[in-house]
Amino acid sequence: MAGIEGFAPNLFVGKTVFVTGGGSGINLGIAKSFARLGAKVAICGRTRERLDGAAKEIEALGAKVFTHVADVRQPQAVQEAIDATRAALGPIHVLVCGAAGNFLCRAEDMSPNGFKTVVDIDLIGSFNASRAAFNQLKETKGIILYISAGMAYMPYAFQVHVGAAKAGIEQLMQNLALEWGKYGIRSCSIVPGPIEGTEGMKRLADPKSLAERLSHIPLSRMGTVDEIGAAAVFLASPMAAYITGAQLIVDGGSGLIGSAFFNVGAEAVLRSGA
Ligand code: NAP
Ligand code: COA
C-alpha cells in the first residue's frame, strides 16, 4: 500500500477510472490504488479469465468493477469497452493507457510484424483508447495517464520496437496535452523503472545479473506496483490540477545510470535462449 496512505480515503469517490491492460501487473496495481481511494474501476484486456481474476481482487477492496474484453489494437472494440463503461459506472474521469507487449529481440532478428505488433499495442492502442474516451473526458474534465518506459528516452538493447512505441507515446501525451487542455483534459505519462514481480521483469531481466544491476541504481532496489499506483493517484488528484504534458519518472534513479547494465543482462538472456 506504499504511498497512498497520505491521500484522503474518499479522494476518488464518484469517479470512474478505466485501465487498458488492467488485468495484471503494474496496471492492476494502479487500478487497485484508485479502488482503495473509492473509485469505480473498469479494466480491459484480451483475456476473460485474467480480467475475472483481477476483478475479484479489486472488488475485495470494496470497489465497483466493470470488465470488458477488448484488444486495444481494434478501435471499435475499445470504443465499445469505453461506451459500456459509461453505461455501467458513469463517465470516465481517469483513463490509464497501460496495455503493452514486450519481448527481447535483436533488431536484425526482428520481423516487420514483430516490430509492428508492439507499436500497434503500445502506441496505436494508446491513441485508440484516448480517442474513444475523448467525449467522456471532455465532460468530466478528466486526465489521461500513459504508462511509458525508460526506453522512450534512452536506447536499450533489443528494445528497438519498444523504444519506438514508447517514444511515440510521449509525443502523443504532449500533443494531447496541448490540444485538449482547452477542454480541461490533462495528459501525463508515468515512466516506471524496474518493478518487482511483473511480467516485464520476467521477460527482460537476467536473474543472474539483476542484483548487480540493482546495486548501481541510486535507490538500489526495484520499485513496487503500489509505488506506481501512488504516482498515478497523485497525477489524477486535485493536487496535480496544474500539471499537464508532464512525464513523471518513478524509477529510483534507474534512468540516471544509462542502459549498459540492462544491456549486458539482456545479452545474457538472449544467449541463454530463454
Ligand atoms: P503485464 O502484466 O503483462 O501487463 C500488460 C497487460 O496488457 C496485460 O494485462 C495484458 O493482458 C494487456 N494487454 C496486452 N496486449 C493487449 C492488447 N492488445 N489489448 C489489450 N490489452 C492487452 O506487464 P507489466 O510488466 O505489468 O507492464 C505494464 C505496463 O508497464 C506496460 O505498459 C509496460 O510497458 C510498463 N512498464 C513495465 C515495467 C516493468 O518493470 N514491468 C517497466 C517500465 C514500464 P492480456 O494479455 O490478457 O491482454
Ligand atoms: N522474439 C521475436 N519476435 C517475436 C517474439 C519474440 N520473443 N514474440 C513474438 N514475436 C513476433 C512473432 O514472431 C510475430 O511476428 P511474425 O508474424 O513475423 O512471426 C509477431 O511478433 C506477433 O506475434 P504474435 O504472437 O502473433 O502476437 P500477439 O499479438 O499474439 O502477442 C506479443 C503480442 C508478441 C507482444 C505477446 O508477447 C504478448 O501478448 N505480450 C503481452 C504481455 C507482455 O508483453 N507483457 C510485458 C509488458 S512490459
Q: What is the DSSP string of 211-269?
A: HHHHHHSTT-S-B-HHHHHHHHHHHHSGGGTT--S-EEEESTTGGGG-SHHHHHHHHHH
Measured from the Cβ of residue 158, the count of other Cβ atoms closer than 10 Å reads 20
Counting from 1 in the atom list of ligand 1, the atom nearest the Cα of 29 is 26
CA pair distance 65, 54, nearest whole angstrom: 10
Amino acid, single-letter form, for residue 112: P
In sequence order, the 6+-apart residues with CB closer than 8 A to the CB of 179 are none
Pair 235, 245: CB distance under 8 Å: no
Q: What is the pLDDT of residues 200-229, one digit of tens each?
A: 999 999 999 999 999 999 999 999 999 999
Is the Cβ atom of 228 under 6 angstroms away from ligand 1? no
Grid cell 481517469 in the structure block, residue: 94
If you measure from the C-alpha of residue 102 to the centroid of ligand 2, how many angstroms do you get, rounded to a whole number?
7
Nearest CA owner, ligand 2 atom 34: 101
Counting from 1 in the atom list of ligand 2, the atom nearest the Cα of 102 is 44
Counting from 1 in the atom list of ligand 2, the atom nearest the Cα of 73 is 29
If you measure from the C-alpha of residue 103 to the centroid of ligand 2, how many angstroms do you get, rounded to a whole number?
7
Is the Cβ atom of 113 under 6 angstroms away from ligand 2? yes
If you measure from the C-alpha of residue 274 to the centroid of ligand 2, how many angstroms do you get, rounded to a whole number?
15
Mean pLDDT by 10 residues, the chain (274 residues): 83 98 98 98 98 98 98 98 98 99 98 98 99 98 98 98 98 98 99 98 95 96 98 98 98 97 96 83
Is the Cβ atom of 83 under 6 angstroms away from ligand 2? no
Residue 29 is assigned to a structural domain of this protein: yes
User: How many domains does the chain fold into?
Assistant: 1
Residue 76 is assigned to a structural domain of this protein: yes
In sequence order, the 6+-apart residues with CB closer than 8 A to the CB of 99 are 20, 21, 27, 44, 45, 72, 121, 122, 125, 126, 129
Q: What is the pLDDT of residue 181?
A: 98
CA pair distance 182, 161, nearest whole angstrom: 33
Q: What are phi and psi of 145, to 5 degrees?
A: -115, 120
Q: What is the pLDDT of residue 2?
A: 56
| Structural domain range at position 201 | 16-205+223-255
Amino acid, single-letter form, for residue 117: T
The CATH number of whichever domain residue 67 belongs to comes to 3.40.50.720
Residue 98 is assigned to a structural domain of this protein: yes
In sequence order, the 6+-apart residues with CB closer than 8 A to the CB of 37 are 4, 7, 8, 9, 10, 11, 12, 13, 233
Residue 53 is assigned to a structural domain of this protein: yes
Residue 212 is assigned to a structural domain of this protein: no
Residue 36 is assigned to a structural domain of this protein: yes
Is the Cβ atom of 74 under 6 angstroms away from ligand 2? no
If you measure from the C-alpha of residue 25 to the centroid of ligand 1, how many angstroms do you get, rounded to a whole number?
7
pTM: 0.98
Q: What is the dihedral of CA 87, 90, 92, 93, to 10 degrees?
A: 180
Q: What is the pLDDT of residue 239?
A: 97
Counting from 1 in the atom list of ligand 1, the atom nearest the Cα of 162 is 34
Q: What is the pLDDT of residue 146?
A: 99
- Catalytic residues, by residue number, are 148, 166
In sequence order, the 6+-apart residues with CB closer than 8 A to the CB of 212 are 261
- Closest ligand by atom to 152 CA: 1
Q: What is the pLDDT of residues 126-160, one digit of tens each?
A: 999 999 999 999 999 999 999 999 999 999 999 99
Total residue length of the chain: 274
- Closest ligand by atom to 150 CA: 1
CA pair distance 3, 167, nearest whole angstrom: 28
Measured from the Cβ of residue 229, the count of other Cβ atoms closer than 10 Å reads 27
Q: What is the pLDDT of residue 99?
A: 99
Q: What is the pLDDT of residue 182?
A: 98
Q: What is the pLDDT of residue 273?
A: 83
Residue 269 is assigned to a structural domain of this protein: no
Residue 191 is assigned to a structural domain of this protein: yes
- Closest ligand by atom to 74 CA: 1
